[in-house]
Structure 1
């Protein structure tokens, strides 16, 4: 170490050996002495903002940057940029997801579905851009709760970080419930079509299919990272194939069956209000929510950061690319559906198949094509579930690594570079939450709404803190919009997220609210956050102290290099 860069007091306390990991020289190798008390006190404060040394734009490789963040490499980096994009694109599962939310979309008429999707997707892209900036600066599997800790003001770091970690974890689990129940509905709808409506879908049968789906997904996601990465390639191809097939088959079938399509005035201007809300609010409720429910979980790219190659660049590309692709492709799909749908929307909403998309395809293509499409959508939905199960397990594993969850000492264990216990915890949690769906549809909807509210809170909090209390310590990574444009985009995104959290808790109708049509998301969402706060104060405060390093002093010095150590010591000097 250059003596001119280090104070005399620093030299008494710390000496470095082999700090340059890429080129060991005689000048850069001196004896390590009493390093434990110094480096450990520095790297244990990772994320605190007191010692700001994470600089992604200057890091040489992924392992060095991860060491600066405070962790050692435990998982294998097998995900290419395309595969990081693929995990988010797979979870969004465009056509199966649109099929699942179609009932909500058309309850406001075609104009609400078409233009609501377009507008909401634009704002979601702004949210994704802000998240991409955060991920480019600090790419770690914990992501959201880590950034919250990093940018939060003193005295609130631990509690804010804990609440966000719990919210993000539960939201992802609820997302898996939502995807797997959608899968179960698609499978059961195919059975009903096969038996020409002479089949009764019970809650028990639905849960049995849901249970089997979760178990199979647990087995699939327990494979090596390389296999999971290649699975994203299959998912990308499968989702694009079914979309292209829809674009070809549905118009041809509609033209053959009906002889004509719905005109542009119906597609882009046909508004119907099936509720007692005013037209403007109903447009938001029915138009925005399909996009919100579909174009979500793009934070999955963040949770794959420690398995991504060149994470500071590939993760932002995955986030922004997946949102953009789903925005445009989803809009074209909806236009196609509205061109081919029965203009009497009540006939599609009140279908005997329990699935509006099944009715739409049946009207245009008949029984065999309907079964084929539902089967293909179910396959894509299964791949969606595998991808989100992977993302959940990485978030749970990262949070447990910092002792944020019960049984953390078991969940954070990694075997053959795979966090098996985290995968098991994710699937068991999903099965437990899924039991709420046996109560009734109201409980199921509230559960699925938790995926939206919990994720949006987890997404907006670190960005809000970065714009306020953490603005002086933010060091941008390779992806950054600049000092002028970045705050504008981020503030718009934060305001939109707050709006969605509030809107998502409104009931579907204004008057006559009772226990069957009440939207319990307004209870479950804030209730989860409040209980997380209480749990932290009464118990977890003793054990959770924010992100903590799992590097030894020697591992840290070997990975980060002499330049980083010099920079840390300079910041430590008065």
Structure 2
């Protein structure tokens, strides 16, 4: 044992394994500093990587590739998502599946680029951690800060928007079966709150139970999606329900565009991408669960790609069924039946009552599982950012329950924030609709930020075992161009000129850019003094520095000349 600079003896720690950070080929907050991390137990490659990234292994790795995919596919929730997004696609550009095809091509490019990033930085912090390592060093804290809050806004709006849609469908189904009932805003809020409470309780359970629950949820989602798809085609009775109608639409009717906005059709089609973007959101979930899955640097990116590609194709097939069977789009837009939910109105045009009830029941159950997965993913994001000291009260939100080994506090603060967001429904349909488009924009900003810096400001990016090879830059450029185009488009209202009133205004700009402006001011005024990006939560005593150079500017660092090797000491 050697003497430290202060002359005091440096204690030896019991060591069974050690991680030589610079030998793992990982760009992290600890790399290029000559650090070895001593660990008092045997570790595997997954724990070695998360330690090299600067974090302790606090969760059990009980998610497999399939269970991680199960969570992300459940978050995708294609059946309830398509049902919830009629307002943002069919009621904007019509029933054609063309917008879905085009949107999926670009959304998949975003997912592929993010998957490559996830392989290189397999941590629950997700894209902000990557930004901290890829952005120009001088500005990295600011861009990491912005990416964190953008991604966080995407996550905390997900569960409330899904649960709101689920509650709306439940009450619409009740109204469909009871002509004397008409849902009120208070009813929707109360039911949504009940669903949120259930999801918060479930998301607080141990990881093993969550893995089982989400696997079951994905199986249910897939099964119900297939059943409803078959019901729409095989159970189609629109020629009997609507006298004089044909059983299916012609090709020209099914594939034609019906512009229901005051903008040119091309712009209207871009606006309708919101329905696809929101329906497809969730493919980032494996990134945030990478600290809970085995072989994370491969499983997480594979799950991202599987979610985007499989979800995109299956969703398109479902849209195809709708385009050939929907009867009267105008009646749905005008809500002639007073149901308040377009998907229920659509089903009532083509299916007998018993089948409508069955299809909606399966859609609602799928939506319940989807909302639970959204809350689970959001809690991991809040936990990981609190671990870096991002939020006021971070010391509370980063706590991991010793009983369940899950971040229960993060779950419940997200629940409270979700309840506040849901108050927007009392300001009208357009106001509550902003949480859908905010989720789309916020997600896109956070998903694409590391790709921008990887392409244009590469600070020595070391790709992980899953990568795009020579296609990395071309695909990245396509994803960046798409996101840059879509951000302003998603802020457009569907009407303009004298028709644009407060009730018809798209409040996305205020709900997203307002908070983003506030956190920017917060950073410039105060946070820049103390926030420097992700920070390690590993005990300093477990670090061994192998170079005197890295000690400069580090307070209270102690030099230990012993070079630890694997084994007991």
**TM-score interval (norm. to shorter):** 0.7 to 0.9
Distance 1:426 1:510 in 2: 35
Aligned residue number for residue 563 of structure 2? none
Aligned residue number for residue 40 of structure 2? none
Bigger shift: 305-314 or 253-262?
Answer: 253-262
| Alpha carbons 1:192, 1:353 under 8 Å: kept | yes
Aligned residue number for residue 375 of structure 1? 361
| Alpha carbons 2:205, 2:406 under 8 Å: kept | yes
Unaligned stretches of 5+ residues in structure 1: 1-8, 29-38, 40-44, 558-564
Distance 1:166 1:195 in 2: 43
CA offsets 1:392-424 (integer angstroms, 9 cap, x no match): 110000000010011101111111311010101
Distance 2:116 2:12 in 1: 33
| Alpha carbons 2:236, 2:351 under 8 Å: kept | yes
> Could you say what secondary structure the match of 1:290 adopts?
helix
CA offsets 1:152-206 (integer angstroms, 9 cap, x no match): 112212121112111111221112221111011111111101203x212111111
Q: Does 1:434 align with 2:414?
A: no
Shift of 1:17: 8.1
Distance 1:434 1:442 in 2: 13
Aligned residue number for residue 290 of structure 1? 275
Distance 2:34 2:69 in 1: 30
Shift of 1:572: 9.7
Of residues 60, 82, 85, the one that matches 1:101 is 85
Shift of 1:516: 1.4
Aligned residue number for residue 173 of structure 2? 190
Distance 1:46 1:15 in 2: 27
Aligned residue number for residue 298 of structure 2? 313
Unaligned stretches of 5+ residues in structure 2: 22-26, 37-42, 241-245, 553-569
Of residues 319, 323, 336, the one that matches 1:334 is 319
In the TM superposition, what are the counterparts of 1:176-255 in structure 2 within 5 Å?
176-196=159-179, 198-255=180-237
Structure 2 CA distance for partners of 1:297 and 1:515, relative to 1, 3 Å = same
Shift of 1:290: 1.4
Shift of 1:367: 2.0
> Could you say what secondary structure the match of 1:506 adopts?
coil
Aligned residues: 524
Distance 1:475 1:171 in 2: 27
Distance 2:484 2:225 in 1: 32
Aligned residue number for residue 148 of structure 2? 165
Alignment RMSD (CA, Å): 2.7
| Alpha carbons 2:274, 2:437 under 8 Å: kept | no
| Alpha carbons 2:89, 2:276 under 8 Å: kept | no
Shift of 1:147: 1.1
Of residues 309, 312, 321, the one that matches 1:324 is 309
In the TM superposition, what are the counterparts of 1:144-163 in structure 2 within 5 Å?
144-163=127-146
CA offsets 1:331-357 (integer angstroms, 9 cap, x no match): 000111111110x31122223211221
Distance 1:266 1:15 in 2: 78
> Could you say what secondary structure the match of 1:274 adopts?
coil
Shift of 1:20: 7.4
Of residues 421, 424, 431, the one that matches 2:412 is 424
Aligned residue number for residue 345 of structure 2? 359
List structure 1 segments (4+ residues) > 6 angstroms apart after TM superposition.
Answer: 13-20, 568-573
Bigger shift: 98-107 or 253-262?
Answer: 253-262
> Could you say what secondary structure the match of 1:107 adopts?
helix
Distance 1:472 1:451 in 2: 29
| Alpha carbons 1:145, 1:161 under 8 Å: kept | yes
| Alpha carbons 1:161, 1:546 under 8 Å: kept | yes
Aligned residue number for residue 266 of structure 2? 280
Distance 2:344 2:34 in 1: 54
Shift of 1:64: 0.2
Aligned residue number for residue 36 of structure 1? none
- Normalised TM-score (structure 1): 0.86
Aligned residue number for residue 98 of structure 2? 115
Aligned residue number for residue 55 of structure 2? 71
